[in-house]
Amino acid sequence: MTRFRDHLHVLAPLLVLLAACGSSTSVTRDNVAYMYGKGADQLRLEARIYHHAPERSTLYYKLPTRDLLYKSDGGGGPYKASLRITYEAFPEWGSKVLLDSASTLVQDKSDDPGLEKELVGSIDLRRNEHKSFVLRVTVRDLNRETQATTFIRVDRRETAIRQYFMPIDPRNGLPYFTDQFRPGTSVKVRCDAFANATLNVVRVPADAALPAPVFSNTTKKASSSPDSTFRVTVDADGTFLLSDLRTGTLRFQLDTLDDRGYSLFTLSDCYPYAASAQDMLKPLRYITSMQEYERITKQDDLRKAIEKFWMDCTGDREKAREAIRTYYGRVESANRHFTSSVEGWRTDRGLVLIIFGTPTSIHKAENGETWIYGEENNLMSSSFTFVKRADPYSDNDLVLERDPMLKGAWYRNVESWRNGRVYQN
């Protein structure tokens, strides 16, 4: 299935200053499970940071209008959406000190509230002496009182230059909110701080390996080694164009002896959706035996074989549809949140999300995340700890601390999938 950005609307921000230092707000023990699941929030907020220069940074945000409530004053259109985007800056995870905050009031008008488009806007961050800090970004739909929140690690240290690069759509100059693209895509990359510079580029082939079960003592290795190199020259306007991308990772560096750089990833044709039969087949390996999986792959009609697998699991066509919708919905969610140099469903967090669903609690820390299923501090609950790995290609690479004690929980959940008992989280 192919999906396009039908309409894009650039919004001029109206800044409203909020409270400054001295707040007791904390970002350490907040439960952020809503970030990776449906939850009560129906807004899908995407955000990214771009450093134009060491002294100037901008927060870009995007919202699909189908998530917003458009109201009229009566008598038909125009219909109006009203929302507030807020950012809060903290010096680090766990800090209770609010360094800075600001918000922008966004209002959009439409004669057709059912028209799907995307609202794209920006807020310039005020100058901050901190080289690195945590940004909490929140959007609230003022017409229906729903909201969504995301977190960004802002890094302006000399040892990190990733956020000095931003992919943009060559057709309209608007930012992309991902560094992952489909094969054949053409992307323009903006990097004002490196205008007229020549960048060294290494290409790393795609990795097809799957993560081991949560109780295994095997850990998936980091990204593969490069297989080729080339160079690109940044134009005077601070951009360069990449045409007809092919599967794999591109790493852009000023110096081959310097680990600092920016990575752009080209993944499967249907990323982030599991649309084709091949895309639907691969994640099934998590809940099938090797023999069963190979038998399915050898069928002439792969899609029909996959449908039969789910029918055999559930015993009912409607239940099979629900199982397929839930299972592959989790695959898509994992792709959106956990993708690094591989699709999100292939990562440790993707593995756990697909099999166990959205955790009851998620706590983020400087070096990773802890997921809890059930009540905290309850011996009957399951806990998963993911630790950030030193990966030169991505800062979204978290590795599960595997535990033999999780073996029982793993097989119970796999068996639930195979018996058609779909968790509704």
- CB burial string 215-225: b at 16+ within 10 A, e below: ebeeebebbee
Assign 207 to helix, strand or coil.
coil
Q: Which of 35-44, 122-131, 206-215, 325-334 has the lowest mean pLDDT?
A: 35-44
User: Is 89's pLDDT higher than 60?
Assistant: yes
What is the DSSP-derived secondary structure letter of residue 126? P
Say how far apart CA 324 and CA 354 lie, in whole Å.
12
Whether 384 and 214 have beta carbons less than 8 Å apart is answered as: yes
Asked whether residue 24 carries a pLDDT value surpassing 60, the answer given is no
pLDDT at 11: 41
Which band of pLDDT confidence, cut at 50, 70 and 90, is reported for residue 71? very high
Question: Do residues 283 and 331 lie in contact, with contact meaning Cβ atoms separated by under 8 Å?
Answer: yes
Check whether 27 has a pLDDT greater than 70. Answer: no
Residue 275 scores a pLDDT above 90: no
Residue 6: pLDDT band with limits 50, 70, 90: very low
Structural domains for the chain: 1-157 (2.60.40.10), 277-418 (no CATH)
- Is the per-residue pLDDT at 331 higher than 90? yes
CA distances from 13 to 7, 124, 210 (A): 19, 9, 43
Q: Name which of 289, 297, 283, 380 is nearest 334 in CA terms.
A: 283
pLDDT for 223 equals: 60
**Residue 114 CB coordination number (10 Å):** 9
Query: Looking up tokens 């029909």, which residue turns up?
Result: 304
Q: Specify the pLDDT at position 392.
A: 78
Peptide bond into 78 cis (omega under 30): yes
pLDDT of residue 3: 32
> Strand runs (DSSP E) across 222-367, as ranges?
228-233, 239-242, 248-253, 262-266, 361-365
Q: Which residue has the tokens 């992309």?
A: 176
Burial of 34 by CB count in 10 Å (0-12 exposed, 13-18 middle, 19+ buried)? middle
Question: Which range among 36-40, 44-48, 100-104 shows the weakest confidence by mean pLDDT?
Answer: 36-40
pLDDT tier, 194 (very low <50, low <70, confident <90, very high otherwise): very high
Q: Which of 127, 132, 139, 112 is nearest to 11 (CA)?
A: 139
Residue 40 pLDDT class (50, 70, 90 cuts): very low
Q: What is the pLDDT of residues 132-162, one digit of tens each?
A: 899 999 999 999 988 888 899 999 887 789 9
- Residue 167: predicted pLDDT: 98
Higher confidence at residue 267 or residue 422?
267
**How much of the chain, in percent, has pLDDT values that exceed 90?**
61
Q: What is the arithmetic mean of pLDDT over 94-118?
A: 89
Task: Reply yes or no on whether the pLDDT at 94 is more than 80.
Answer: no
Q: Does the pLDDT of residue 5 top 80, yes or no? A: no
Most confident of 101-115, 227-241, 372-386: 227-241
Q: Which pLDDT belongs to residue 367?
A: 87
CB neighbour burial string for 356-370, b if at least 16 within 10 angstroms, e if fewer: bbbbbbbbbbeebbb
Average pLDDT in the chain: 86
Residue 223 dihedral angles phi and psi, to the nearest 5°: -55, 155
- Residue 368 is which amino acid? G
Given a cut of 60, is residue 242 above it in pLDDT? yes
State the DSSP code for 284. G
Q: Is the pLDDT of residue 128 over 80?
A: no
41 band by pLDDT with thresholds 50, 70 and 90: very low
The 8-class DSSP code of residue 331 comes to: H
Q: How confident is the model at residue 232 (pLDDT cuts 50, 70, 90)?
A: very high
Closest alpha carbon to 165 in 15, 73, 48: 48
Report the pLDDT value the prediction gives residue 157, as an integer from 0 to 100.
Answer: 82
pLDDT at 101 over 50: yes
Measured CA to CA, the distance from residue 149 to residue 119 in angstroms comes to: 16
